[in-house]
Structure 1
Amino acid sequence: MPLLTTRAPAKINLTLHVLGRRPGDGYHVLESLVAFAGVGDALTLDPGPELSLSVSGPTAGPAGPTGDNLVVRAARHLAEALPDLRLGAFDLVKRLPVAAGIGGGSSDAAAALRLLAELNGLPFDHPAVVAAARATGADVPVCLDPRARMMRGAGEEIGPALGMQPFPAVLINPGVPVPTAPVFKALGLRVGDRLNGAPHPGIGPGSGVEALVAAIGPARNDLEAPALTVAPAIGTALAALRTQAGCRLARMSGSGATVFAVFADRHSASRAARAIGSTQPTWWTVATYLR
């Protein structure tokens, strides 16, 4: 059988409201509008009798040992649910920065589940596939079908695809890995606590860039302030974006350190990425589309 291939796009939290920490499991309850970028990792599956993983690419080193990679974890969870599952050798090309707030590992895991589903003739929404995604990580389910949608709860509540028009953006990672746990610790919520903030705005299907900016402008990322105490470089990257011509909105994604800006048009986004890249050559800076 020929190789199966797919992309694992960066996941961008256009908004991220933290509603509180629920009793019992202590998970933070979120409400987030998620979109996916035109940049990402690449994953290939060579069908065969044994599960394996090789990792290459510019960010392969920081991705960590292959035995603990989320690609392998996701495949094992699915194989446990479906003992006759056909497996094979995965080859992952890592291009996205690691511990960056853009769901690189989660998107890789979701890509692995899509390839295994394709190999085994399963739909992406097969109960075993969805269960394996949930068991692998909170952000994996929303990455199974990477299109803009709302994500709620601890990642288990996935809304329908919104069909938003692709819109130009610039992504920046200032080269500072930011693990999620210290950011949530800095937020300081105890189990049972709730955050009182304005409710999340409604997002209409098929929104263009103007309608999107108008809708999410009053929203927020509740992890941005605590992340700034962990990695002040996030503020420097945001400031660089906000000074660029055509920038309509700049915000942090996830728990950082990646930030993004929505631009009026692709030419403005490309110019901004070139300008920032020339002054900050060590940053990961890319102009792309979100959808």
Structure 2
Amino acid sequence: MALTEIAPAKINLALHVTGQRDDGYHLLETVVTFSDAGDVVTVEAAPEDAFSMSGRFSQGLSREAGGSDGNLVLRARDVLREALSEEGMSAPPVAIHLEKNLPVASGIGGGSADAAATLRALLRHWHATPAASTLDRLALKLGADIPMCMVGKPLMASGVGENIALLPAMPSFHCIIANPLQPVSTPQVFQRLTEKNNAPMGPLPALSSAAGWLSWLGSLRNDLEPPARLVQSRIAELSGLMKDTGAALVRMSGSGASCFALYETEAQARESLERLTAARPQWFFMQTRTVGKGETDDART
């Protein structure tokens, strides 16, 4: 029987760079939520390991696990199998299919979400229950965003992404995610970041309404947006187009080039999607709704 996991887009609603460790890793504070749609990972038993891909953006990914641009789905399979083997658990061959609907290298955690979905699907398929510390360790080994993507709920993360606090009171937002289909190198963005010790977010205020959340989020920043705009000028163009739709909040996600716009109503989001798609038909636009108020929205079969 095939098992399916949604790999939702990760949206950095705000991202503050607050320092840098001696080993070079940057210290972050970020508010994160997830879309109700994204890539799809399917796993089923097979006589030998197999991997296939489909979807609009499948051609941008490696079919191999190794190398600097190795596929994170395959890396997740391999590191989980190794960890389970060390704990005496079986991890027989599997066929994995990735439906790649999100742009690659776009600041919405596509690869990390794919890896997290793969881990969740394989744990279910193999009926495996490794120690929580083991799972935490291998998730962080795969990438700083993967622990967040394993959670898949509104959260605040700090450190290099390993310190996570859930935000169960965050509401769901009507949202458009957009990308000019120009990949942005995260290392290049950090190289252009001139200030590494920016002001932290401060304590989370008491928020009881969507308007309150939007007001607080609007007071925050993405410290990577200015340097990302230097790397890719179309980010500014995209942000301007989205602001012209009257969105309640527009900001770049992660290290770019994706931007998001939050709206008060579904009708506003739908009308904005039509307007943006007409203006830039060659770019990527997705109308979605974010997970909120304790919902998981991780459709499975």
Q: 1:200 to 1:220 in 2, by over 3 A?
A: farther
- 1:85 has 2:83 as partner: no
Q: 1:240 to 1:201 in 2, by over 3 A?
A: farther
- Aligned 8 A contact 2:84 2:130 in 1: no
How far apart in 2 are the matches of 1:161 and 1:112?
24
- Alpha-carbon distance, 1:223 to partner: 0.1
Aligned pairs, number? 283
Residue-by-residue CA offset, 1:44-95 (whole Å, 9 max, x unaligned)? 0012354332111110011223432101111211111111332411100000
Matches for 1:185-224 after TM superposition, within 5 Å: 185-188=191-194, 194-197=196-199, 199-200=201-202, 202=204, 208-224=209-225
Q: Which residue identity is paired with 1:284?
A: F
Residue in 1 that maps onto 2:26: 28
- Aligned 8 A contact 1:17 1:200 in 2: no
How far apart in 1 are the matches of 2:172 and 2:148?
18
How far apart in 2 are the matches of 1:200 and 1:259?
24
Runs of 4 or more above 6 Å deviation: none
Runs of 5+ unmatched residues, structure 1: none
- Alpha-carbon distance, 1:161 to partner: 4.4
- Alpha-carbon distance, 1:208 to partner: 4.2
Runs of 5+ unmatched residues, structure 2: 292-301
Q: Which residue identity is paired with 2:138?
A: A
- Alpha-carbon distance, 1:171 to partner: 1.0
- Alpha-carbon distance, 1:127 to partner: 2.6
- Aligned 8 A contact 2:16 2:198 in 1: no
Higher RCO, Cα 8 Å, sep 6+: 2
| Aligned alpha-carbon RMSD (Å) | 1.8
Amino-acid identity (%): 38
Q: Which residue identity is paired with 2:199?
A: G
How far apart in 1 are the matches of 2:110 and 2:200?
29
How far apart in 1 are the matches of 2:262 and 2:269?
8
In the superposition, the TM-score normalised over structure 1's length comes to: 0.92
In the superposition, the TM-score normalised over structure 2's length comes to: 0.89
- Aligned 8 A contact 2:19 2:26 in 1: yes
Q: 1:273 to 1:200 in 2, by over 3 A?
A: farther
* Residue 135 (structure 2) aligned to one of 114, 129, 132: 129
Residue-by-residue CA offset, 1:112-150 (whole Å, 9 max, x unaligned)? 100111123345983322222111111011001211101
Q: Which residue identity is paired with 2:11?
A: I
How far apart in 2 are the matches of 1:53 and 1:203?
46
- Alpha-carbon distance, 1:163 to partner: 4.3
